[in-house]
Amino acid sequence: MTQQFTTPKKDLNWAELGFQYRPTEFRFRALHRNGQWSDGELITDNMISVHEGAPALHYAQQCFEGLKAQTAPDGRVLLFRPELNAERMRQAAERLLMPQVPEALFIRGVEEAVRANYAWIPPHGSGAALYIRPMLIGVGENLGLKTAKEFEFRVFVSPVGPYYKSAGLAVISLAVSDLDRAAPAGTGNYKIGANYAGGLLATRLAQELGANEALFLDARERRYIDEAGSANIVVAMRDGSFVTPGSNAVLPSVTRRSIMTLAEQELGMKIEQRAIDLRKEIDQFEEVAACGTAAVISPVGKIYIDGQWHSFYGEGEQAGPVMQKLYNLLVGIQRGELEDKFGWTHEVKA
Ligand SMILES: *Cc1c(COP(=O)(O)O)cnc(C)c1O
């Protein structure tokens, strides 16, 4: 007999959850001091006390991750490709001269935080998920611009609903930003805090135009699609190909990489990763979507560029068939409803 989770669930209105922080009982913490990681432990305090000179606070020496735990119909708790998040955090740490979080520690931290907060994992069929936020920050006494001497790896979790307001396949809109997100040889391909503060104004300006998010073009020529503020872009072209930007200034989204595989293997589409010249190719777009752990697959109904809106769908704004199929496949696998052909799910055992 395998062990079962026995903790009763919290009495929450799961279907009403938005994408907001909700405190849960436990978080995992490991400390790196004198060149060595501590074993790590579960703690209850959701505050972090750090030195006022901590490099994470002044020079953004920090990185983070985002993934979800979902409940399968048979009650199993599933993560989605967590080893790719571990790998991405490893790359970010290397780029920012931080100690790497070994994959075993990363996965154990995630599993322990999920297991300890079992009561907060939304039940199957609720449409909600447990969002998991691993982070690595440079702490300790400091003043000058140099790497921290101490680091904290922390994993906290929060039950969440959809990132964009309406449930299921919410159609969103994007406005091309006049601001740049990431330089060609900068840090846009790492999930590090330094990339995001500068995007807050871009998001604000996009929202003033009535869009959900900013769409960033490449910083060198301002022609090619990079990505949205917190989601990659995929496009189903009129010629039947399925395309995503080839830019190395975008975050290598786990969701996007999975969707590309599904488009090729399950829908038999020709997939391409290449530069997409937005103004030249927009008339060839059949369907566009933003994708990520938080956004899942959000069809893009319209894009604002050069003073006007380009719409991809008619009134009523429903998702097109390609994005709808990909959404059903992806979410079906993540929630343990469909066969996991690719071995993407990772069970957190009781
Ligand atoms: C996290 C993130 C994504 C989505 O990546 P996933 O691994 O699919 O969650 C896309 N773009 C940016 C800028 C992000 O920060």
**Residue 6 maps to a domain:** no
Q: How much is the average pLDDT of 124-152?
A: 97
- pLDDT tens-digit readout, 147-167: 999 999 999 999 999 887 665
Q: Which of 65, 135, 191, 261 to mutate to test the pocket of ligand 1 (most atoms within 8 A of CB)?
A: 191
pTM over cut 0.85? yes
For residue 111, give both structure tokens: 């599993």
Output the six-digit token pair for 98.
């931080």
Angstrom distance (rounded) from CA 3 to CA 1: 6
Handedness of CA 171, 13, 203, 206 (dihedral sign): positive
Q: Does residue 4 fall inside a structural domain?
A: no
Q: What are the structure tokens assigned to 191, written together?
A: 């999930």
Q: How far is CA 308 from the centre of its chain?
A: 29
Among 191, 280, 302, 349, the one annotated catalytic: 191
Q: Are residues 271 and 233 in the same domain?
A: yes
Pick from 139, 117, 116: nearest CA to 49: 139
Determine the distance separating the centroid of ligand 1 and the alpha carbon of 138, expressed in angstroms.
22
Task: Provide, rounded to the nearest whole percent, the portion of the chain with pLDDT above 90.
Answer: 92
Residue range 116-131: mean pLDDT, rounded: 96
Domain count, the chain: 2
Question: For residue 29, is it within any domain?
Answer: yes
Asked whether residue 64 falls in the same domain as residue 195, the answer is: no
Predicted local confidence at residue 317, as pLDDT: 65
Of the candidates 233, 258, 236, 231, the one whose C-alpha atom is nearest the C-alpha of residue 338 is: 258
**pLDDT value at position 162?**
80
Is 72 in the same domain as 207? no
The ligand 1 atom nearest the CA atom of 229? 13
Q: pLDDT by residue (tens digit) across 233-284?
A: 999 999 999 999 999 999 999 999 999 999 999 999 999 999 999 999 999 9
Q: Identify the band that residue 318 occupies on the pLDDT scale cut at 50, 70 and 90.
A: confident
pLDDT in tens, 293-312: 999 999 999 999 999 999 98
- The pLDDT value recorded for residue 36 is 98
The range of the structural domain enclosing residue 51 comes to 14-161
pLDDT at 77 over 90: yes
Residues 328 and 181 in one domain: yes
d(C-alpha 289, C-alpha 291), whole Å: 6
- Which residue's C-alpha comes closest to atom 13 of ligand 1? 230
Other C-beta atoms lying within 10 Å of the C-beta of residue 305:
16
pLDDT at 170: 79
Measured distance CA(117)–CA(25) in Å, rounded: 6
What's the whole-number average pLDDT of the chain? 95
Among 80, 160, 232, which is best to mutate for testing ligand 1, by the most ligand atoms less than 8 A from CB?
Answer: 232
pLDDT of 1 strictly over 60: no
Residue 176 CB contacts under 8 Å (≥ 6 apart), including other chains: 214, 215, 216, 217, 278, 303, 304, 305, 306
Residues 180 and 322 occupy one common structural domain: yes
How far, in Å, CA of 152 to CA of 169, rounded? 37
Q: Are residues 157 and 179 in the same domain?
A: no
Contact criterion met (CB below 8 Å) for 288 and 322: no
Separation of alpha carbons 137 and 344, rounded Å: 28
Q: Are 18 and 24 in contact (CB under 8 A)?
A: no
> In the predicted model, what is the mean pLDDT of residues 229-234?
96
Residue of 249 and 317 predicted with greater confidence: 249
Residue with CA closest to ligand 1 atom 2: 230
Average pLDDT, integer, range 205-232: 97
Q: Radius of gyration of the chain from Cα atoms?
A: 20
Domain boundary among 105, 139, 161: 161
Host H or E run for residue 43: strand 41-43
Lowest mean pLDDT among 12-16, 305-309, 333-337: 12-16
Last residue of a domain, one of 141, 161, 181: 161
Is 261 within 8 Å of 242 (Cβ atoms)? no
Q: Are residues 135 and 19 in the same domain?
A: yes
Q: Same domain for 188 and 230?
A: yes
Query: Residues 62, 134: contact at Cβ < 8 Å?
Result: no
Q: Residue 6's pLDDT is what?
A: 87
Beta-strand (E) ranges in 161-202?
172-176
d(Cα 257, Cα 244) in Å, to the nearest integer? Answer: 10
Q: Are residues 86 and 194 in the same domain?
A: no
* Ligand 1, atom 4, residue with closest C-alpha: 292
Chain center to CA of 245: 17
- CATH number (domain holding residue 151): 3.30.470.10
330: CATH: 3.20.10.10
One-letter amino acid identity for 105?
L
Domain boundary among 108, 137, 161: 161
Confidence of residue 49 (pLDDT cuts 50, 70, 90): very high
pLDDT at 215 over 70: yes
Active site residue 191: yes
* 80-122 pLDDT per residue, tens: 999 999 999 999 999 999 999 999 999 999 999 999 999 999 9
